[in-house]
Structure 1
């Protein structure tokens, strides 16, 4: 009789241990890339480690890596703007080609995609990222300071602004 209780107890312990560690939708089964940028993997092009690098309130530079999941067709990054009623605009920039199955890092070489709007370092801003194939990716992107770590010196917003004094100096 004792052996029977012992066997039953051992079976219960074995089942409890295995069932308590089994299940579905564990964190180890989901994509997770630790980092300070935001990621979106919903379209043909993945937007990875997206941030706005900002040296001063109201302006910054959009930086991200763009991964083309289509192994046969080149994709093009054509625009970025404020999403969900955010008043964020981008200065004009040349479309960025992404080779079939390729990756483009907008930081190296610097694409200098300058944004202006109502944001400051520490905010999260909703952005709409547009591609030439018609895809639009909506993503909440952190605004990071221009003076720390990897992002130091990447804000091109100050270098693209020209004043009347600069124009007059160039004309001389």
Structure 2
């Protein structure tokens, strides 16, 4: 004999089952606390290190020609390790060097001491601050592992891409300067091929 389920009972069972399914992701989300704001955002083109006392975001070398560029990054204090405290000096960015596994060489030109500041943040891409001039055997498209040093003795290793001084990077300036590094055309330097920020115009069939 076939047993039938009343229509109102079927609706009640379906409703209970749906509520149980909805409850599973809610419980798992509460247990993980893995919010998007707690994870590194790597959408922007740049290297990062979130584990040191000073967090490094969007690290890049902006290069107008092979072998020369400006190192930029955004530095923020890691609140879980060394949060900013009123009256105590924040660490400053004092040095960079290529890591042991680097295939290219990068050297900072001159000494520098860039204060993180009372707000616990500094952006070297901001023209009011400026970045660190570097030289070496790098070129756009390279990714160079750099070890950054800070005044509190902390170090952070970052995989740093080299980008051309075009588009959003055209306004990047060296520390204490008001103008970007000159391109080879402006200096008469013919030792390297000049970079062009102009895309060639191409027809519908590659003409």
TM range (shorter): 0.7 to 0.9
**C-alpha deviation, 1:46, in angstroms:** 2.0
159, 172, 181: which one pairs with 1:154? Answer: 172
TM-score, reference length from structure 1: 0.74
Which stretch shifts more, 131-140 or 49-58?
49-58
Conserved? CA contact 1:53–1:155, under 8 Å? no
Unaligned stretches of 5+ residues in structure 1:
160-172
Q: Does 1:6 align with 2:22?
A: no
Give the match for residue 114 of structure 2: 96
CA distance in 1, matches of 2:101, 2:61: 18
Which residue pairs with 1:39 in the alignment? 48
Residue 101 of structure 1 and its aligned partner are, at CA, apart by 3.7
How far has the Cα of 1:152 moved from its partner? Answer: 0.5
Task: Note the C-alpha offset of 1:146.
Answer: 0.3
Q: Is the CA contact (8 Å cut-off) linking 2:97 and 2:147 kept in structure 1?
A: yes
Q: C-alpha distance in 1, partners of 2:129/2:118?
A: 21
| 1:105 aligned partner | 123
CA RMSD of superposed structures (Å): 2.8
**Equivalent-residue separation in structure 1 for 2:159 and 2:33 (angstroms):** 23
Equivalent in the alignment of 2:84: 70
Which 4+ runs in 1 deviate beyond 4 A? 155-159
- Residue 119 of structure 1 corresponds to 138
CA distance in 2, matches of 1:120, 1:155: 18
8 Å CA contact 2:40, 2:50 repeated in 1? no
Partner residue in 1 for 2:205: none
User: Which string of whole-angstrom CA distances, capped at 9 and with x for unpartnered residues, describes residues 85-104 of structure 1?
Assistant: 22322222221222344322
After superposition, what is the alpha-carbon deviation per residue over 1:39-72, rounded to whole angstroms, capped at 9, x for unaligned? 3222222222221101122221101122234323
Taking structure 2 as the reference length, the TM-score comes to 0.63
Task: Name the one with the larger strand percent.
Answer: 1
Count of residue pairs brought into register by the alignment? 159
Give the Å deviation of 1:37. Answer: 2.6
Once the two structures are TM-superposed, the CA of residue 13 in structure 1 deviates from its matched residue by 1.9
Residue 56 in structure 1 maps to residue 74 in structure 2: no
- Greater displacement, 125-134 / 72-81: 72-81
Question: How far apart, in 2, do the equivalents of 1:97 and 1:155 lie?
Answer: 17
Question: What's the secondary structure of 1:64's corresponding residue?
Answer: strand
Conservation of the 8 A alpha-carbon contact between 1:75 and 1:100? no
Change (3 A) 1:20 1:80: same
Q: Distance in 2 between matches of 1:80 and 1:47?
A: 13
